[in-house]
Structure 1
């Protein structure tokens, strides 16, 4: 089957499905009280017969799990909760109302946006057009980059920002929207890029001009477009027939056995092999060309307010964990100063769950980049993936504060090694 026919079939399937709505879908926060209840929720997550949208995953007794529940699933879920004596609350009664409000706000304000705005969530065309304009406005500083390709043949577009050749080996990588529905991640990423270019704060200027920046706002472009046009809560890429979680598809501790235990429709389906997806394989090829110049690699996600340190597959720590952790603690303190937003720090198994084949683990293990983190941005679950637009700029500002501190700490540590 040729590529054009695949795209046509994909388009027809999208048209047949139409826009996905979530009328009367409720976001439940369930708190299992014992390990048996945790196991029950894990089995529910792996269900072949019924797809449940876990916004956060089962971890341990006493740790809340957020699940989007359809009207048809409510009676079963509440029976399961009651029979196993789990606590719960309903965080959002009707998810569609939040989606509609977000869409109305975007639509009503989009016409007023001449370039890009951080008062709305921008679509892929707006973001990519802005990146292209930056390269035209700052030809001596900004270089347009093609980081890879997508299943539907979109370019994974990014930029390099460099204020001089003296910054070689002082590179910073920031990517976002590997998960389509996590819109605050690309909004924060573009906010940081704008600050790097335009802020007149002397502290920002020092950090901005003393490092090379590789910034990719949307590394899952197909999924992001689909979340914007068809299904706001879509997570994966758009490879047929069900899509793949691109943050389970990297060639480090990729766990095919774990994939066989879950439905291919699952939001965490990891694909048929490591780097089976063109997005991850092509992006990895690009990273390989610049990895030796990187001192810091960040990947933005939402939500939960975590700074996560490799590795995700086990409780083992990276070789420089003490230094990495100490820098994260100071960064989280800086982040909290502006609005009081509190972040927790640790590895994925310590904060969330085991995760195999994730991008930050691959980058750290493959290239030993000194400082590597995943940010799980705002919030802690009141809005989840539907964070209101009035929180975009505060999220951007506090995240910038933390990155300044991270780089200050990294620069001191690296200087002491010479």
Structure 2
């Protein structure tokens, strides 16, 4: 899932090397000092890129979407090398294992090199979409046409200001809802959430959404669940709503989310600048639990850049500080991502099983069976390291390993793996995704409670 910097992710331009954050160097490629600065500025000018969030709308005209299936370990290594080093390939999924297909978006000027590499290594591939910009244009046009209605619902994806406004209204209209402010983002946006409580002394559940900016179905699902917890009259929903204190943060990466609406639909990270042309760290690789050990990058232009140090991002540092205030009462931490239809639990930094692995596995099994009941949506489940890929420094691993929250799960929501629409999930799937996810969350909490994990 590697963007190689602001340039590559905006217009597919070549970027000369990277900044070495670990050594605090000003080296860019093989140039240093003033020469490096001049070279990088020339590239920026040539590519027509505006630095920072004043950038014009990123377009992906004639970028192609391919499905690739490595059939051997050698082919797999070739793909992994491309993911780490290419400046104009967007891996919407990380290659996980031999024989498993994944999707990649290729810039027009890289098509010949990309296909030549695959063909020379006899790696099977097929074209899925000839111009990914069409999907983004349709999505943007649809959302802009609806913004004048002034109605918050789940018929389409909502911008950050609409989500925050809705949270404000919830607090003013429902006495059981309290606004929460966990701090400010790098660009001074509020890390806004709410507490839903029907009485004192209840064990706490934490819902985290939107930590990866481009995964729009995540905040949509979290807000759907929150709305149901407040308004639903279904007995099972009322039971979990009133049995626990709910701490809900739909947008844990507000700068990144806003950026996906205004500039670059496929942006993933935060928006803190690193060096001249790289922006953001992966906020789900930045938590201080086995930070930067597995499945991360030290390249600040990479999508999986873990940051120069743990909690380098004010968003993760602030959210962690808030979670620490719940110490002693927090019983479950649930994060929502997309995509691939997975239910994951610790650990991500190692294949070694967590102390309560068996319970987490059994709870996950019951949860995905429950999720499939309504629409037949099939999830798989497992510990992060084995079920998807090594990934250290995540919020869920941190809550489990540092805060001792023994019910810690990550949902990778619709669509399923290898879906061509990936992060651009059609809005008609928002409500079904919310419904089935809430069904499964009820089961997850019931199964956890039966095993004694959610006691006050």
Quote the residue 2:187 is aligned against.
Answer: 152
Counterpart CA distance in 1 for 2:100 and 2:138 is 30
From 272, 291, 309, give the equivalent of 1:254: 291
Quote the residue 2:27 is aligned against.
Answer: none
- The number of equivalent residue pairs is 402
Question: Please, which runs of 5 or more residues in structure 1 have no aligned partner?
Answer: 1-10
Quote the residue 2:235 is aligned against.
Answer: 202
Counterpart CA distance in 2 for 1:416 and 1:51 is 46
In the alignment, does 2:127 pair up with 1:90? yes
SS in structure 1 of the partner of residue 340 of structure 2: coil
Shift of 1:211: 0.9
In the alignment, does 2:98 pair up with 1:61? yes
Counterpart CA distance in 2 for 1:175 and 1:156 is 11
In the alignment, does 2:215 pair up with 1:179? no
Contact kept in structure 2, 1:124 and 1:225, CA below 8 Å: yes
Contact kept in structure 1, 2:53 and 2:259, CA below 8 Å: no
SS in structure 2 of the partner of residue 382 of structure 1: coil
From 421, 432, 436, give the equivalent of 1:383: 421
Counterpart CA distance in 1 for 2:455 and 2:51 is 56
Quote the residue 1:5 is aligned against.
Answer: none
- Assess, with a 3 A threshold, how the Cα gap between structure 1 residues 256 and 369 changes in structure 2: closer, same or farther: closer
Contact kept in structure 2, 1:45 and 1:51, CA below 8 Å: no
In the alignment, does 2:321 pair up with 1:288? no
Shift of 1:166: 4.1
- Assess, with a 3 A threshold, how the Cα gap between structure 1 residues 204 and 44 changes in structure 2: closer, same or farther: same
1:258-273 to structure 2, matched below 5 A, reads: 263-273=299-309
Contact kept in structure 2, 1:52 and 1:69, CA below 8 Å: yes
Counterpart CA distance in 2 for 1:151 and 1:16 is 15
Quote the residue 2:270 is aligned against.
Answer: 237
SS in structure 1 of the partner of residue 51 of structure 2: helix
Counterpart CA distance in 1 for 2:453 and 2:104 is 46
In the alignment, does 2:61 pair up with 1:20? no
Deviations along 1:188-237, one digit per CA (max 9) or x if unpaired, are: 00000000000111111111111110000001000100111000111100
Counterpart CA distance in 2 for 1:232 and 1:136 is 32
- Assess, with a 3 A threshold, how the Cα gap between structure 1 residues 291 and 102 changes in structure 2: closer, same or farther: farther
Counterpart CA distance in 2 for 1:254 and 1:159 is 28
- Assess, with a 3 A threshold, how the Cα gap between structure 1 residues 398 and 416 changes in structure 2: closer, same or farther: closer
Contact kept in structure 2, 1:180 and 1:220, CA below 8 Å: yes
1:291-370 to structure 2, matched below 5 A, reads: 291-370=327-406
Shift of 1:113: 3.6
Quote the residue 2:147 is aligned against.
Answer: 110
Counterpart CA distance in 2 for 1:287 and 1:68 is 36
SS in structure 1 of the partner of residue 109 of structure 2: coil
Question: Please, which runs of 5 or more residues in structure 2 have no aligned partner?
Answer: 1-48
Deviations along 1:272-301, one digit per CA (max 9) or x if unpaired, are: 001111111111111000132122111000
Counterpart CA distance in 1 for 2:411 and 2:319 is 19
Quote the residue 2:78 is aligned against.
Answer: 40
Quote the residue 1:276 is aligned against.
Answer: 312
Counterpart CA distance in 2 for 1:248 and 1:409 is 29
Contact kept in structure 1, 2:272 and 2:280, CA below 8 Å: yes
SS in structure 2 of the partner of residue 384 of structure 1: coil
Tell me the TM-score normalised to structure 2 length: 0.85
Counterpart CA distance in 1 for 2:398 and 2:448 is 20
Shift of 1:324: 1.1
Looking at secondary structure, tell me which structure has more helix per residue: 1
In the alignment, does 2:444 pair up with 1:406? yes
Shift of 1:125: 0.4
Counterpart CA distance in 1 for 2:294 and 2:154 is 41
Contact kept in structure 2, 1:190 and 1:217, CA below 8 Å: yes
- Assess, with a 3 A threshold, how the Cα gap between structure 1 residues 415 and 272 changes in structure 2: closer, same or farther: closer
Shift of 1:387: 0.3
Tell me the TM-score normalised to structure 1 length: 0.92
Shift of 1:379: 0.4
Counterpart CA distance in 1 for 2:224 and 2:394 is 25
Counterpart CA distance in 1 for 2:54 and 2:321 is 35
Contact kept in structure 2, 1:256 and 1:272, CA below 8 Å: no
Shift of 1:129: 0.6
CA-atom RMSD in angstroms: 1.9
In the alignment, does 2:109 pair up with 1:76? no
